[in-house]
Amino acid sequence: MNQKQLDILGHTHQLFMEKGYVDTSVQDILKRSGISKGTFYKYFSSKSQLLISLLSSLQESLILQREKVAIEHKGDNQKVFEEQMIFMLNFAEQNKIPEIIESTLVLNEVKTFHYIEELKAATFNWIYERFQQIFPAETSPYLFDGAVLLEGMLNNMFKMNKALNYPLPIEQIVRYCMKRTEEIVIRVAEQKEQLFNHSAYSALFNDKLESHFSTELTRVTAKLKRVIENRLTNEEERKKSLEFVTFISDELLQNDTEPRIFIIQISLLSLEKIKSLAQSKELEEYKEVITSLTRNAS
């Protein structure tokens, strides 16, 4: 995205936090951003597409910062996970993401609904994958149930905390729910009690990714950008690389026109020519996702 698009997203985010998605009109966005209607529609086909761009930008920022948390809190894997969860929930609260999402539910905007569902599925999938890194191998068959329990406990604890106006900090809620989840996982593993089969969910999750791949694009884009920022010491090379990655994302996430696949392929070739990126696993993973998206679009 160029600076003008980022500025519009920033102003729109503030409006959505203040008024909610439904009660914010395009005219409100024009007034707050100081732009004309023509400029708005030059960059965004609709308010719903602007919302998806905003959520995608927030998700990318969350993923990058979540990985930084893991680097900063080295040590016990479970403690690192708890710190990541605390960061994610603080991030969501500070940016009023739950309130923004909740305000869209009254509308019949199918693409927005699918994108939000995919965001939720991607977060759950990340929790489940982290559980497999945290808990002993013998508990593996019961970790899907454990991830469901943790997410359910957190959601309901936060709802109750808000309803009762309790001053419980996010850190306390996360650590309490994680401790309860750990106790349950160990107990059910001993008793061999399993409710859900994770393979059925994996198939469902993969189906969703094939039909709506935007959060997977956000994930691999965030990883590649982190590599570009950390490895490329040449300022001009770093700037150009980030421009290529941003251009590809913009092309694939737009709603109103088909992505220009030939130009996307040229941009990928340009990234492959950069020695510090060539053969990196992040670029390879990024290319796989882009190839899947462009194949579906063609």
Question: What pLDDT digit, counting tens, does each position of 162-211 carry?
Answer: 899 888 999 999 999 999 999 999 999 999 999 988 777 666 666 555 44
Q: Is the pLDDT of residue 215 over 80?
A: no
Q: Which residues of 73-84 are buried (b: 16+ CB within 10 A; e: fewer)?
A: eeeeebebbbbb
∠ CA 168-152-93, rounded to 5°: 45
Least confident residue range of 72-81, 189-198, 248-257, 287-296: 248-257
Decide which of 49 and 258 is more confident.
Answer: 49
Quote the pLDDT of residue 207: 57
Neighbours of 263 (CB within 10 A): 12
Cα(159)–Cα(295) distance, rounded to whole angstroms?
Answer: 42
Per-residue pLDDT tens digits for 71-99: 888 778 899 999 999 999 999 999 999 99
Beta-carbon contacts of residue 82 (< 8 Å; ≥ 6 apart): 174, 175, 178
Q: Is the pLDDT of residue 262 over 90?
A: no
**233-247: average pLDDT:** 85
Quote the pLDDT of residue 296: 61
What's the pTM value of the predicted model, to 2 decimals?
A: 0.74
Mean pLDDT of the chain: 86
Decide which of 262 and 295 is more confident.
Answer: 262
